[in-house]
Structure 1
């Protein structure tokens, strides 16, 4: 039985932990492209809500349905993951079997020839649409933009990341936060990747779930990471 104080979804727990939704929650750097994108709790919440509304209203996702994600670390990936979890979906990373929809990038599209419903994330800093996608393939920014930027969980999630129960995710996040010294208000600069369920919990969700914020840095030298940490007024650097 679900505990009375247990949130319906991981995404509910994430945004319940945010003390000030106007402050930065996720800042994304990609030094290979020069991108720096900063999302407040409100802005990230809007993208997650649009994604959840799209999944529920257009795709027909209900609690326990599988949503597949094959994307690199990016702020759009975070919005997709939080939106899928908010919709009550079970998110898979290594397989598209039984997936109602797959989110991927243009360069990974050919690796999923048998998936019927595919959405490609542009990974553009401003979520600008991609051109010349194959017929039947949706552009993430375009398909979710028309949906509402508020969402309320309709049913408790039966599973979250590759079948992990919500209580287990929350327990793991608390243990990781204690181990790494992450607490309320901690601003974490991290280069740690999140391509799998356990790493999404450890390297993306944990700072959010305990009331901290995350600055994720890709393709940067140690010296550059140190400079970003100073500029972002980080209280913790993880690499």
Structure 2
């Protein structure tokens, strides 16, 4: 709790710096928060101008002196977005840290200017496949495999599904791994081993299904939540931003709310 409150102070300092002109605003019309915080991982967004970079470095130094939470720039990285080579060199010199390449992956989610490609989502397939070793499928009962599917395999893609929709090819590969392990104990299964239609398996227990998450519809519901929060609570730092949601989530939100 103390850590969270301390990082809120850093966000307030950066917001005040933008309000007073020390830093350039990220958006011309709105004051948008310039930090993203998760546990002990902090991202600061700013323009690539030398004055802004020097101001960021000084703010972090003063914040570290006051809080004791000093920034180790040797472990930090600057990720230029649509910056020239000269701006990248300036960032490396002023911040005294390495320059990483963008697009990148942050908290397990690929970050890019455009929608992530199928190649950028292949690590999700690899991660699911690594979870399935041969002994896990061959030495457990079908009921235990079902529990593993419901609570582990189906939960692993949810983090990405909260951010954006998986393309059909990647979603099909994920579902193939999940129902292959459920029926056959390995990452793929042929038609004769699939005892029940997968759409029925994804029905709730109350509707005679097995309670496995339907990843397509679960993803729509998760992404609709951002639209709901944006509409009902403007205090969120991203509330004024345009949310790049998929058409299915936007259409469902429009017909479900007034």
TM (norm. structure 2) is 0.28
TM (norm. structure 1) is 0.29
Q: Specify which structure has the bigger relative contact order, considering alpha-carbon pairs within 8 angstroms and separated by 6 or more residues.
A: 1
Name which one, 1 or 2, has greater alpha-carbon Rg.
Answer: 2
Greater fraction helix: 2
